[in-house]
Structure 1
Amino acid sequence: MGSGRLDGEVAIVTGGGTGIGRAVSLRFAKEGARVAVVGRTQKTGESTVREIAGSGGDATFIQADVSDVDQVRRMVKKTLARFGRIDILVNNSAIYAGGTILSAKEDDWAQVMRVNVDGVFFCSKYVAQEMVRSRRGSIINISSFLGVKALPNELPYAVSKGAVIQLTRAMSLDLAPYNVRANCVCPGTVRTRMYESVLKDPSMVKRNLQGIPLGRVAEPEEIASVVLHLASDESTYVTGATIMVDGGRSAG
């Protein structure tokens, strides 16, 4: 299956059916982890599970909306029933809404905060309770370069991702005494379904790439490599960190 950097570990990956979450799920399984692929859409989640199983890995799909605390509690119980433990949590589920302080819709704002912030809080809280009992664990929250660098017309999404960064820092202090680590990964523009509309417009692609020093968008697998490092024993002294994986976009 791979080098076995996660042999014997159990991971929950929210939003594991597509994009970064799918890449993380596949990479974790390749490295020996058993994976609970969590998402709202059964079709994409089960597709990821089938691909893992086809390569000899062990995975299960759990349908859950991370913005619903009762569903999150059930997700944790189902993972424990299936695998008996939880060692790694990747909070990747997110939705997007743009707008300015003048134009952003209240309903969009509320829903983005519910999924992108409350969802991370709910999942982290109930998974961390299990990790504290075993005195080990790694939580990786997927934020965005927009959490540290403001751009026009991105208000709801950017604020939600900034909140994820601060949530990660705060929880890292709470969990450190229990040998549970929490870190944040901030991708730049990644070739995922969320970016498809941009890829269809050459002028938008050109404008987007102008802000990236490396001159290209990231592939989901490149983000997964960083997440793997934080999940593994290679990063046992790393907690409370915010790691930019944005091609240099936030440097200037």
Structure 2
Amino acid sequence: MKPRLENKTALITGAASGIGSAIAELFAREGASLALLDVDIAAAETLARELADSGHRAIAVQADVSDADEVQHAVTQAQEALGRIDILINGAGINVFRDPLTLSEADWQRNLGVNLQGAWHCARAVLPSMLEASYGHIVNIASVHGHKIIPGSFPYPVAKHGLIGLTRALGLEYAARGIRVNSISPGLILTPAAERYFESCPDPEAERRRQTELLPCKRIGTSEEVAYAALFLASDEARFINATDLLVDGGRSQLYHA
């Protein structure tokens, strides 16, 4: 079977761990050349070497996505090394959960800077060449927090609601020019960040069981399952899907808790 991303080049942000690294590994297997962007350049370089050793084409580039100049420099590096970027996966993100009245200005700005502005900085950097080619797919990794409010999670959902809005606005803005913009909203996924949360609880196993029981499927999702959703949306198989958000949460957001 022909690789689904053969002759395509993808820039993946937050590529060094969790969902981002799962997307990178799957996209490589499906034939894409990869630019792995992460603030942790050492981890990105390690993944790039592992992929290269397996016969894939991958480079690492460094940027804090909240810094537009750093993003533009990293995108230029990727384009010089790999050519035009066909696919952008905006996977970089940070968890910011604070009490609204004690939230610092720095944490507010950092939340928006990485989780919302970061996606815009990356999209703005790749869009000119995508528009010139009349071809490009952007997939933003949003969250169930962009659909439902979980008490105690402020201000993270503010950014994720904005990211879904950005997805819809950009998708419609450039739909007639060959560009598609979609987003994925993962629920509870067993990422390193989720593992750290469980370990921070007084009884990690009890909290893991509690969270698992809240899911209709009675299991926590995996990063690879999110990666397959990204693969579909980034491929030409989804060419009539635009400005849409795909929930990948095991059905939890549809469940009414009495």
Q: TM-score with structure 1 length normalisation?
A: 0.96
CA distance in 2 between counterparts of 1:106 and 1:212 reads: 34
1:118 partnered with 2:135 = no
Letter in 2 for 1:215: K
Equivalent position to 1:211, from 211, 214, 223: 214
1:178 partnered with 2:181 = no
CA distance in 2 between counterparts of 1:215 and 1:129 reads: 44
The secondary structure found in structure 2 opposite 1:250 is helix
Spell out, residue by residue over 1:166-188, the C-alpha distance to the aligned partner (whole angstroms, 9 max, x if none): 11000001110111000000001
Aligned residue for 1:7?
A: 6
CA distance in 2 between counterparts of 1:149 and 1:47 reads: 36
Deviation of the 1:156 alpha carbon: 1.1
Aligned residue for 1:152?
A: 151
Aligned residue for 1:228?
A: 231
Please identify, of 78-87 and 10-19, the stretch whose mean Cα deviation from structure 2 is larger: 78-87
Deviation of the 1:204 alpha carbon: 1.8
Structure 1 unaligned spans of 5+: none
CA distance in 1 between counterparts of 2:108 and 2:214 reads: 26
The equivalences for 1:1-252 within 5 A come to: 3-200=2-199, 201-252=204-255
Does structure 2 retain, via aligned residues, the 8 Å contact 1:39–1:64?
yes
The count of residues paired between Structure 1 and Structure 2 equals: 251
Does structure 2 retain, via aligned residues, the 8 Å contact 1:23–1:224?
yes
CA distance in 1 between counterparts of 2:228 and 2:176 reads: 27
The secondary structure found in structure 1 opposite 2:139 is strand
Does structure 2 retain, via aligned residues, the 8 Å contact 1:181–1:238?
yes
CA distance in 1 between counterparts of 2:214 and 2:106 reads: 30
Does structure 2 retain, via aligned residues, the 8 Å contact 1:198–1:204?
no
Letter in 1 for 2:47: T
Deviation of the 1:85 alpha carbon: 0.8
Deviation of the 1:96 alpha carbon: 0.8
Spell out, residue by residue over 1:76-120, the C-alpha distance to the aligned partner (whole angstroms, 9 max, x if none): 211110111110000000011102333433321111101111101
Letter in 2 for 1:163: G
